[in-house]
A and B are shown apart, each in its own frame.
Chain A
Amino acid sequence: MSKYLLDKFLFTVDRDPDLVERYREDPSGTVAWWEETQANRILNCTDGEASTWQEFTEEEREALRTHDHVALFRMGAHPFLTLTLFIAMFERDNTEPLEYQKAYGAALAEFSLPYPDIAT
């Protein structure tokens, strides 16, 4: 399991307005493209000096493909990264203030302390 790589996906998508839209509209295609071309990039290095060993497990891939923030929480993805990106994708569909944020929390009701470990 690679919490780091999940976090790297959430981090790199969240900071790019085009990728936020692409991930909202085509999660499967975005996850496949990202793992193929972006997962091994070292963020402040040239492409020729990329890593060689980063890959998702199938469970991680599936959680990202299905926008499953509950599964991401269970796997220990950083909650701040998940929340920020998912608000960017889905808050726009709110019919009242904080509707998405409250539903997001309610969907996590099964979790009690201690929460899944987020250390990478």
Chain B
Amino acid sequence: MAKVVAVIASTHHPFYYRASTSTGDDRPPFADEWVAKIERFRETLTRARPDVLVMVGSDHFHQLWLDNMPQFLVGKAPVYDANWYNEEREFGMPIFRVEGHEELSTHILRGGLDSGFDLAFSNELRIDHSVTCPIITLRPEADLPIVPVYTNIFAPPLPQPRRFVELGRMLRQLVESWPSDQRVAIIGTGHLSLELGGPRQFGPHGPDPEFDRKAVDWIASGDIDGCLAEVTLDSLHAPGNATHGFMDFMLMMGAAGDGVRADHVDSLDLFHTMEAYFTWYPEGEPA
């Protein structure tokens, strides 16, 4: 059977690409520290020697729209074009493409449908920065096939937080039941406290540092019960109006396992939002 060689959870900050590639007066003062943290984070994936990446993110009203909105969707395509005009415009994101892994997509879709998740699918999906940011930070060569999984954290009504945890657990089980000798990393990105388009946006740090501190503790210690006891669809409005993206971190906690402490934990307090990076090695730390 396939092996899950790494589970990785991260924020996805669309400004990283521009910050890390800028030079001279254009280079922000925090860029060098940010790049150093990302390079250490990247090494945690490289060491796991993955063959395939399952990548969890959330479309930001690019391809998925309110006339036809899935809650959980799995890409099943041979190729994914990456990034959109408005991401190039606002963030300077590069346009590129990655290979898909249709066999694993098929396995996840069939297995999900047979075990309680009525997953939607897409045979032609252009991925956005929720998936391309971790490609840029963790595997900039973009040379591994992917299976994108999109969640709706954006357009209410949203699924309950526990469903994100359950989907993470199921993805882990489905990869581990895939009859293959491939080494798979499950990578997902979300947010800590975040405000977009509201009065608390673009502050000197994230809108709710206290929530961020608790969230990092929940994730780092795999405290799914503690997290589910406090986090509801209503409660997530309080730390910032875009904080429902935290549910993708909860999905990754499900994939990592109850009570399993992360092997790599790092964070960076930036203007606007806090960055956070986590890696688990289900097979043990690579040599």
Contact = CB atoms under 8 A, between A and B. Distances in A.
Is the pairing of A and B real? yes
Interface of A: 4, 7-8, 11, 14-15, 17, 42-44, 69, 73, 78-84, 87-88, 91, 98, 101-102, 104-106, 108-111, 113-115, 118-120
A78 B156 CA distance: 10
Contacts of B199: 105-106, 108-111
Nearest to A10: B61
Nearest to A101: B202
B241 A79 contact: yes
A15 B64 CA distance: 13
A17 B85 contact: yes
Contacts of A79: 196-198, 241-242
Given A15-B86, A80-B154, A119-B157, A113 B238 contact: yes
B10 to A, nearest CB: 20
Contacts of B155: 78, 120
Given A119-B156, A119-B157, A4 B66 contact: yes
Given A105-B202, A113-B238, A80 B86 contact: no
A108 B65 contact: no
A8 B201 CA distance: 23
A87 B90 contact: yes
Given A7-B66, A80-B60, A115 B241 contact: yes
A42 to B, nearest CB: 7
Nearest to A109: B199
Q: Which 7 A-B pairs have the closest CB atoms?
A: A79-B197, A83-B197, A108-B199, A119-B156, A105-B201, A101-B202, A80-B196
Interface of B: 60-62, 65-68, 84-86, 89-90, 154-157, 195-203, 237-238, 241-242, 271
Given A80-B60, A114-B237, 10 more contacts: A17-B85, A42-B67, A69-B197, A80-B197, A84-B86, A98-B271, A102-B202, A106-B199, A108-B198, A115-B237
A88 B89 contact: yes
Nearest to B68: A44
B125 to A, nearest CB: 14
A91 B92 CA distance: 14
Contacts of A73: 197-198
Interface of B: prevailing SS: loop
A83 B196 contact: yes
Contacts of B242: 79-80
A15 B85 contact: yes
Contact of B67 (A43, A84, A91): A43
Contacts of B65: 11, 43
A119 B66 CA distance: 10
A29 B177 CA distance: 57
A11 B61 contact: yes
Contacts of A84: 86, 90
Nearest to B89: A88
Contact of B201 (A11, A81, A83, A114): A83
Nearest to A81: B61
Nearest to B87: A84
A114 to B, nearest CB: 6
Contacts of B203: 105
A111 B61 contact: no
